[in-house]
Amino acid sequence: MASVSPASLEKAYQTARRRRQPWEPLWRECFAYASPVRGGGLGPEFGPANRLSDRLFDGTAPDAVEQLAASLLAELTPPWSRWFEIVPGTELDADGRSRVAPLLEQATRTLLGHFQRSNFAVEVHQCYLDLVTIGTATLLFQEAAPGTGSAFRFTAVPAAEMRVLADAEGRITQQFRTTSMPVVELRERFPAVTMPPGLEQRLKEDPDCRVELVEAVQPEGAHFRYAAFVPREEARSREALLLAEGHFERSPFITFRWLKAAGDIYGRSPVMTALPDIKTANKVVELILKNASIAVTGIWLAEDDGVLNPANIDLSPGSIIPKAVGSAGLTPLQAPGRFDVSELVLGDLRARIRHTLLADRLGPVQDRRMTATEVLERSAEMARLLGATFGRLQGELLVPLLHRAAAILRRRGEIAALPLDGRIADIAVRSPIARLQARDDVGNIVSWLETVNGLGPEAAATVDLPATVRWLAATLGVPAELVRDLPDPLSALAGELVEGDGDDA
């Protein structure tokens, strides 16, 4: 394959930088009011978010963000749970399915074991926090060194380091990760690269200087091209300094979004929707605290009578304040009114924030006496609320994640070399939120079976029992080895008749 052009890399990177700049002020506010701890450590451009955290007075939004991120982890990729499965494809007949099923079951267990032994749960939870806060998150999926417990290694990439571009259909296809690296370390990491004279001069002037390293992943046919380079401004040369290049079967950067508007590259988050209420609630709490400090310490009046010096007054218990004879001395200033209406306003704002961030719907059940119908209705409502988001996360997170994992293990020879193209093998998501629809489908089939059985033996004879059992097992995610092929009742009856005729003869 032809080498990548530094000029084209530089052009695409600068385009990605320009398109991200309008989003940064909004991200800064979202981090400041909903996740100030994470926003303060996301790079120099997010420094104001760290300063704004000193003015954060209400903790409703940060608490709701953490609850929603934890709910996403439990509903999409629950740790130590079978949240996906490799199943036979659509072009396999019954015999092909029976032959391929053991291989796919072994592949599922191998993939799941590597995920459980890796740091996936820790890092993807950090991505969910970014997803809920700013609407876009990126997970770096790398192959671990041989000999480690898992073949997978994950890193939650901070938002300050990522810049992306999308194609005409709105899919994110180009990703650029920017990190800062000392020039000395850069020379040690890429010893075969000749540094330009401008960068060498910069190193002589400042031995501890740092440069901007950009890692780019771009599609190239059915694969992805990787390139690491230093922008021309940082390298002080006429074009970007190309450091390394390579190819991946699947992109190691997995970028996913909460909600996408028409024409947008980056996603929109529930925090953005609730941001006006979050800022208003924060201001109301600030005013309440100021009013409380006035109520505790008070505001005092003092006559300037030449004896009383307001600068030397100590309002501590047991203190004696001198005053002139006949003067009023120190008198309290009465407050013009009370601030009781703030409690009503604040309660309404907090309720709307928790409603927007789904904390009142996806949170733990408060009433332990809920009936089975109430539990089912709660599950159905959760599926309805997260239906659009789950569909996007399945396409942008779960499917690319499993394709990348399968590509790594196929190259290592740990699983069979079966393509996940939907024809031979396919990915079935078995996360808790995906099982809600499966339970509904199974309930419809069970109701149909009960109705048919009530119509009499002739109606019951029309049911294909082996096919029904296989469908129920596939829908509920039952392992293939637990289901054996049931004989067809008509075939079994015909066999018995033939055997009986032979005995009579």
Chain segment 475-492, per-residue pLDDT in tens: 777 766 677 765 544 444
Residue located via tokens 């994640």: 401
Residue 11: what pLDDT? 93
More confident residue, 53 or 236: 236
Residue 497: what pLDDT? 41
Q: Residues 6 or more apart from 396 whose CB is under 8 A from it?
A: 172, 254, 255, 256, 257
Distance of CA 465 to the CA centre of its chain: 41
Give the CA count within 13 Å in the CB-facing half-sphere of 95. 0
> pTM of the full predicted structure?
0.82
More confident residue, 261 or 293: 261
Give the DSSP per-residue string, 41-74. Answer: TS-GGGHHHHHHGGG----HHHHHHHHHHHHHHH
Examine the pLDDT at 308 and tell me if it is beyond 50.
yes
More confident residue, 434 or 365: 434
Ramachandran region, residue 80 (left: φ > 0; alpha: ψ -120 to 50; beta: rest): left
- pLDDT level of residue 42 (50, 70, 90 thresholds): very low
Chain segment 57-68, per-residue pLDDT in tens: 898 999 999 999
- The answer to whether residues 405 and 84 touch, using CB atoms and an 8 Å cutoff, is no
Q: Please, what is the end-to-end C-alpha distance for the chain in angstroms?
A: 74
Dist. CA 327–CA 333, nearest whole Å: 16
Examine the pLDDT at 504 and tell me if it is beyond 90.
no
Dist. CA 229–CA 217, nearest whole Å: 11
Task: State which amino acid sits at residue 245.
Answer: E
Dist. CA 59–CA 282, nearest whole Å: 8
- The answer to whether residues 65 and 35 touch, using CB atoms and an 8 Å cutoff, is yes
- pLDDT level of residue 252 (50, 70, 90 thresholds): very high
SS3 27: helix
Q: Per-residue pLDDT averaged across 288-296, rounded?
A: 76
Mean pLDDT of all residues in the chain? 82
SS3 172: strand
Q: Residues 6 or more apart from 111 whose CB is under 8 A from it?
A: 84, 86, 402, 405, 406, 409, 415
Chain segment 389-404, per-residue pLDDT in tens: 888 899 999 999 999 9
Which runs of consecutive H residues, i.e. helices, occur in 139-260? 183-189, 197-205, 232-235
Q: Which of 291-300, 320-329, 343-352, 428-437 has the lowest mean pLDDT?
A: 320-329
Examine the pLDDT at 416 and tell me if it is beyond 80.
yes
Residue 505: what pLDDT? 33
Q: How many residues are present in the chain?
A: 505
Examine the pLDDT at 144 and tell me if it is beyond 90.
yes
Measure the CA dihedral 272/274/280/284, to 10°: -130
Task: State which amino acid sits at residue 267.
Answer: G
Chain segment 360-414, per-residue pLDDT in tens: 776 555 555 666 566 666 666 766 777 778 888 999 999 999 999 999 999 999 9
Q: Residues 6 or more apart from 143 whose CB is under 8 A from it?
A: 151, 152, 153, 408
More confident residue, 503 or 302: 302
- pLDDT level of residue 101 (50, 70, 90 thresholds): confident
Q: Per-residue pLDDT averaged across 99-126, rounded?
A: 93
